[in-house]
């Protein structure tokens, strides 16, 4: 290792997030420190961090008497500021309280006196529950706090309480719930010193030779995956991981990674069907079963798809954290004579879209219509949420939910093309029967639809840009409902292979 590399290691300290990275994969931490240019930009992680920042601000705002430890003048100054606040008896809470021990620096989100000589700390998270990796974060902080001389009487993950309902705009009292984990992390706290030593040894050495595996995706997708797998020989064209519902795991445990090495007799009927279609290249198609299933559906048929936004922090009065709020739907209305008309709703005003959406559904969907969706439990859930919010429309909306049929089980039972590669998502099935390409659209998937809506609903967005976003959203949602019609036709033998 060169002297330049050694000086880099000395400059780079450790933190709770770096130790969490080390616990996921030592090679990932080494590359973040010494070769960050190898990594790919993780937009999902950036979005997650932005949400976490907003959640943290709200958590602090609930305690107007608290004090924020500013780090603008450097972390060393933040450590000294924290020390002075504690020595001078500040009643707390203290936000971003900053401590350092053995080269490990932590910033405790919320540090409060417990009424005696102890302290309670809370790590604020935007999730709705405690996750395994949160415990490592907490253990690092408790270890450093203890070494700094603080008596820690409680250590909690302060997470979102999904039962919270926003009753007044800007009033987030009750948004969070604490789960105290101090008793759970005792062993991890005791072994933190060794973990720190191990991490420091890795950073001071050459790049660890760690084979890519499950750790590449848990608890987070690693930004260096492409780099670490660049020299690996290509796997089989049809790996056993194609088998749905985790069916490939047991075969990998037995040293089999090629789907084509399996025998149908050793597989479940579903997996045997996937194997046969993959091996022969001939799609599985049970036309009679599809016809029989769909013959039970009435007319007219309202092919329906919602797009929703589900923010961690409720945007509108009457909504809960992570509630699916519909801002858009596409509707293809098909009558028994083959006539099809398209209808749609989109609200990018930024105001609560639920009332307008509910009214549009009631206006556009005939009372005698059978609604058809793909993964219909989602559409039923949205309809029932709207019904609970608007009693005057509830009867119609609940009737819609009760008359919603699901095309997905038909697809699973009646169709499989090897190019689906074990998935029955609409985006996996559609290319096997029609030349409709989501990649050609401006909005390609649900995550992009949410991002497009957020940008379009922002008052600062240029009107021309807003129009383009709206057109992209309309094209995407319309393709979803038209796709369902094409799939149904193919399944029932009205299309062509």
Most confident by average pLDDT, 6-10, 430-434, 465-469: 465-469
| Cα 186 to Cα 43: distance, rounded to the nearest angstrom | 35
The stretch 357-382 carries a mean pLDDT of 98
pLDDT attached to residue 292: 97
H or E, element range at 236: none
Residues 480 and 374 sit within 8 Å (Cβ to Cβ):
yes
Cβ-defined contacts of 363-367 (< 8 Å, 24+) = 364/331, 364/333, 365/302, 365/304, 365/331, 365/333, 365/400, 366/300, 366/302, 366/333, 367/396, 367/399
Q: pLDDT tens for residues 12-46?
A: 589 999 999 999 999 999 999 999 999 997 777 77
CA-based max dimension of the chain: 81
Q: pLDDT tens for residues 475-484?
A: 999 999 999 9
The stretch 416-429 carries a mean pLDDT of 96
Give the pLDDT band (50/70/90) at residue 93. very high
Of 121, 138, 130, 131, the closest CA to residue 188 belongs to 138
Give the pLDDT band (50/70/90) at residue 232. confident
pLDDT attached to residue 317: 97
pLDDT attached to residue 7: 38
The stretch 70-89 carries a mean pLDDT of 93
For residue 212, CA distances in Å to 136, 200, 215, 341 come to: 22, 22, 7, 50
90 compared with 403, residue with greater pLDDT: 403
* Averaged confidence pLDDT in the chain: 94
Is the per-residue pLDDT at 134 higher than 80? Answer: yes
For residue 352, CA distances in Å to 16, 326, 390 come to: 38, 9, 13
Q: pLDDT tens for residues 108-130?
A: 999 999 988 899 999 999 999 99
Q: pLDDT tens for residues 197-211?
A: 999 999 999 999 999
Residues 127 and 159 sit within 8 Å (Cβ to Cβ):
yes
Q: pLDDT tens for residues 169-190?
A: 999 999 999 999 999 999 999 9
pLDDT attached to residue 62: 95
Exposed, middle or buried by CB within 10 Å (0-12, 13-18, 19+), for 439? exposed
Is the per-residue pLDDT at 215 higher than 70? Answer: yes
pLDDT attached to residue 447: 92
* Contacts for 64 with CB less than 8 Å, ≥ 6 apart: none
Handedness of CA 243, 248, 251, 252 (dihedral sign): positive
pTM tops 0.85: yes
| Cα 188 to Cα 183: distance, rounded to the nearest angstrom | 10
* Contacts for 246 with CB less than 8 Å, ≥ 6 apart: none
Cβ-defined contacts of 461-468 (< 8 Å, 24+) = 466/348, 468/442
Of 306, 310, 335, the closest CA to residue 320 belongs to 310
pLDDT attached to residue 45: 75
pLDDT attached to residue 436: 86
Least confident residue range of 41-55, 326-340, 368-382: 41-55
Q: For residue 111, report the phi and psi dihedrals to the nearest 5 degrees.
A: -120, 120
Q: pLDDT tens for residues 256-308?
A: 999 999 999 999 999 999 999 999 999 999 999 999 999 999 999 999 999 99
pLDDT attached to residue 231: 87
pLDDT attached to residue 4: 35
């Amino acid at each position: 290792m060169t002297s330049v590399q050694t000086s880099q290691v000395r400059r780079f300290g450790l933190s709770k997030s770096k130790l969490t990275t080390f616990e996921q994969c030592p090679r990932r931490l080494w590359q973040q420190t010494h070769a960050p240019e190898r990594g790919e930009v993780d937009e999902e992680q950036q979005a997650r961090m932005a949400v976490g920042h907003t959640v943290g601000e709200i958590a602090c705002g609930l305690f107007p008497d608290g004090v924020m430890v500013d780090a603008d003048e450097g972390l060393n100054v933040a450590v000294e500021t924290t020390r002075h606040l504690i020595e001078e008896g500040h009643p707390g809470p203290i936000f971003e309280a900053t401590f350092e021990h053995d080269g490990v620096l932590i910033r405790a989100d919320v540090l409060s006196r417990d009424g005696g000589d102890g302290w309670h700390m809370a790590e604020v998270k935007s999730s709705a529950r405690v996750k395994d990796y949160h415990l490592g974060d907490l253990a690092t902080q408790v270890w450093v706090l203890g070494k700094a001389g603080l008596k820690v009487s409680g250590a909690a993950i302060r997470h979102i309480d999904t039962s919270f309902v926003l009753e007044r705009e800007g009033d987030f009292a009750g948004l969070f719930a604490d789960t105290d984990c101090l008793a759970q992390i005792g062993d991890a706290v005791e072994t933190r010193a060794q973990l720190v030593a191990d991490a420091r040894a890795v950073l001071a050495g050459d790049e660890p030779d760690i084979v890519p595996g499950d750790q590449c995706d848990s608890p987070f997708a690693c930004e260096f995956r492409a780099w670490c797998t660049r020299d690996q020989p290509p796997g089989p064209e049809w790996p056993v991981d194609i088998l749905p519902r985790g069916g490939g795991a047991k075969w990998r445990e037995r040293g089999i990674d090629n789907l084509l090495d399996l025998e149908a007799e050793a597989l479940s009927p579903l997996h045997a069907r996937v194997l046969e279609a993959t091996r022969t290249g001939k799609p599985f198609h049970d036309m009679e079963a599809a016809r029989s299933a769909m013959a039970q559906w009435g007319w007219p048929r309202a092919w329906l798809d919602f797009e929703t936004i589900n923010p961690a922090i409720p945007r509108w009065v009457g909504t809960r954290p992570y509630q699916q709020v519909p801002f858009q739907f596409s509707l293809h209305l098909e009558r028994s004579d083959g006539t099809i008309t398209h209808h749609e709703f989109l609200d990018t005003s930024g105001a609560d879209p639920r009332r307008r959406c509910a009214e549009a559904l009631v206006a556009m969907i005939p009372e005698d219509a059978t609604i058809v969706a793909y993964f219909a439990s989602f559409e039923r859930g949205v309809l029932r949420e709207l019904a609970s919010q608007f009693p005057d429309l509830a009867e119609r909306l609940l009737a819609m939910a009760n008359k919603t049929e699901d095309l997905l089980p038909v697809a699973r039972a009646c169709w499989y093309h090897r190019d689906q590669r074990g998935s029955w998502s609409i985006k996996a099935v559609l290319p096997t029967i029609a030349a409709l390409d989501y990649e050609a659209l401006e909005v390609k998937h649900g995550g992009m639809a949410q991002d497009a809506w957020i940008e379009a609903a922002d008052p600062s967005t240029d009107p021309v840009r807003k129009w383009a976003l709206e057109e992209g959203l309309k094209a995407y949602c319309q393709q979803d409902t038209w796709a369902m019609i094409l799939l149904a036709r193919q399944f029932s033998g009205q299309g062509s292979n």
